[in-house]
Structure 1
Amino acid sequence: MSGFKFIVFSLLLFVGGWYGWRHFNSQDAISKPIRYVKIEGAFQYTSKDKLKEVLTPEMKRGFYHADMDAIHHQIMSLPLVEKADVKRVWPDAVHIKITEQKPIVRWGDNALLNKQGDVLVPDNIADFKNLPLITGPNGQEKKLLEIMKGVYIVLKDKSMQLAEFHVNDRRAWRIKLASGLEMQLGGKAPLENMQRFLKTMDLIGKAQVEMMVSVDTRYPNGYAVTWKPDTPEIDWKAVAEQNKILEKTNPAPRVGTGNDNT
């Protein structure tokens, strides 16, 4: 008996492709064997070996007896599979088309979110460490994702990259940039607090901002800065005067969420 033999034709990650296997003379197949299984899709997270593992039991039952619904269920049980189409193709084949989820951020320690804010649980979260991180109260995934998108755009306009967005149980915000700079934004008007800092950033210059370790904006008329060692002193009086001029010329809009500073 030759058993259930798999032949891999091709697999193109990221851009699409297909692979298949051929079944030769299996005595396990009842009546008419399945000789070909064709799988199509853009595979970034679903491994060939995992697919073979979940599909082999049904394929061994043969062309007439393999349960297409069971095959579909097994495929959909795999992490990060969004949808699957399974059909029998006469005389001896099964055609499967798989669409994977597209995670865009990490959610907490072990999960991901797609662009709709749906929670996804991968086999290995370490494979996604390059994605931005969101943490916050359970059940707020969709809302926080939309807020993060807005924060991301505001920072991107300043050539800054958002790496982490945290919201605690008191709705206070904290963000971290790819550069390592952390910002405490509080729970009262956090967007306004961030905008106030970004406006001042234009006055003190990019080089000085790069010397900052953290910024606490939870003050009504300013913010506290923790600096890297040996940072040159800034003339804050001159910065404040320039800031007053800008406020008179371009008053910032009142934007706020939450109830208190934290």
Structure 2
Amino acid sequence: MNPMLRLAGWLIAVALVALPVVAVLRGWIGAERWPLTHLRATGRFEHVDPKLVQAALLPYAKHGYFAVDLQGAQAAVAKLPWVDQAQVRKRWPDVLEVSITEHRPFARWGRDRLLSDRGALFDARGAQVPPGLPNFAGPDARTRDVVELYQQSRTLFAPIGMQVDTVVLDPRGSWTLTLLDRAHGGIPTQVIVGRAEARARIGRFVRLMPQLLVNPERHIERADLRYTNGFALVWSTPQAPAPAKPATAAAVIPATPWAAAIDTLKRALSATQAPRAAFVLPRFPTSSLT
């Protein structure tokens, strides 16, 4: 027999055997004979919508047991809101099984996203967000830095009864915190930390706060820590009547000793009933703050 004819015969025989197998595996035939008729989902579903999971898997299940694209199905489920990890398997004879791990939210990030406890950002629009989460904002690439400063600040402020509610890192790298006074109904205090030596500045401020808040009728509305040897404070006294001409009580506070600085501030406040006070060092103008 002609060798070419023999080779052609072998190729045709192999094709006749392989083609049905390929057709089944590709879903061209057999999908109705070995259908996937059951969907089994495992995991704790607190936020993931089961209907969305079903809708994501149906286009893949219709190809049948042998032709289902498990990687594609897994990727489709992983894109759903609140899904951290997803694994899709098939179980003979007709089961498509998906195992889902949800994101565990650690904080809000910006207006419509959440930050998970594993450092992943995910969309939270339309979702019921657990109450009590801190609020973060900043460049997406700086999530680790934001969490780190939050943890450090929370440790420092907790012993004096202040809760760190918000941590913001702006595009220039400047930090701003919002504190809540738990002892007085959660009154907020904005703390402008700046760019340099954030933890050291916060530490100095924390050491002074108990002395600054000895008068419960006075509350620090805003604190600017961007001075090497002092702070600028804005006070709020909601119970005091507003004067006809708002005045500002000011005092120049030396870097050391701190006790003398506090006494100077108290004398300045006693000399006027102004609801606002500021103390800074004159050699550090506002334009140079970082």
Alignment TM-score, normalising by the size of structure 1:
0.69
Deviations along 1:164-197, whole A, 9 cap, x unmatched?
1112233222111232221122233333332223
Find the aligned partners of 2:218 and 2:87 in 1 and give their Cα distance: 51
> Mapping of 1:13-92 within 5 angstroms?
30-92=32-94
Where do residues 85-104 of structure 1 align in structure 2 (5 Å cutoff)? 85-104=87-106
Q: 1:233-252 alignment to 2 at 5 Å? A: 243-244=258-259
Residue 225, structure 1, aligned to residue 234, structure 2: yes
- Find the aligned partners of 2:136 and 2:72 in 1 and give their Cα distance: 35
Which of 216, 236, 239 aligns to 2:224? It is 216
Flag the 1:216–1:205 CA change in 2: closer, same or farther, 3 A.
same
Mapped contact 2:114–2:121 kept (Cα < 8 A):
yes
Deviation at 1:31, TM superposition (A): 0.5
CA contact (8 A) 2:138 2:171 kept: yes
Within 5 Å, which residues of 2 pair with 1:169-208? 169-178=171-180, 179=186, 180-205=188-213, 208=216
d(CA) in 2 for partners of 1:151, 1:33: 56
Q: Distance in 1 between matches of 2:112 and 2:161?
A: 29
| Rounded Cα–Cα distance in structure 1 between residues aligned with 2:117 and 2:74 | 24
* Cα 1:146/1:222, change in 2 over 3 Å: closer
Query: Hey, what's the Cα distance between the residues in 2 that align with 1:97 and 1:35?
Result: 17
Question: 1:41 offset after TM fit, Å?
Answer: 0.7
What is the CA distance between 1:39 and its match in structure 2?
Answer: 0.6
Which residues of structure 1 form unaligned runs of 5+?
1-27, 248-259
Q: 1:108 aligns with which of 107, 110, 120?
A: 110
Alpha-carbon shift at residue 203 of structure 1 (Å): 2.2
Judge conservation of contact 1:42–1:99 (CA < 8 Å) in 2: yes
Distance 2:127 2:100 in 1: 21
State the distance in 2 between where 1:50 and 1:104 align. Answer: 24
For structure 2, list consecutive stretches of 5 or more residues without a partner in the other structure: 1-29, 181-185, 242-248, 263-287
Task: Check the 8 A contact 2:176/2:192 in 1, yes or no.
Answer: yes
Q: Number of paired residues? A: 219
Report the Cα distance in structure 2 between the residues aligned to 1:97 and 1:105, rounded to whole angstroms: 25
Higher normalized contact order (CA 8 Å, seq sep 6+, divided by chain length): 1
- Deviations for 1:15-67, whole angstroms, at most 9, x for unmatched residues? xxxxxxxxxxxxx9611333322111112221011112112222333333332
CA contact (8 A) 1:31 1:64 kept: no
SS at match of 2:88: strand
**Contact persistence 1:118–1:142 (CA under 8 A):** no
Contact 1:216 1:223 survives alignment (8 Å): yes
Q: SS of the residue aligned with 2:133?
A: coil
8 Å CA contact retained: 1:55, 1:71:
yes
**How much does 1:231 deviate?**
5.4
SS at match of 2:114: strand
SS of corresponding position for 1:84: strand
- Larger Cα-atom Rg: 2
RMSD over equivalenced CA pairs, Å: 3.4
**Percent identity between the aligned chains?**
22
* Higher relative helix content: 2
**Shift in Å at residue 129 of structure 1?**
6.7
Q: Letter of the 1:244 partner, please give it.
A: A
TM-score (norm 2): 0.63
- SS of 2:129's equivalent in the other structure is helix
Residue pair 1:134, 1:165 contacting (<8 A) in 2 also: yes
Cα offsets for 1:131-184 (capped at 9, x unmatched): 212222342222222222211222223222111111223322211123222112
Change (3 A) 1:174 1:215: same
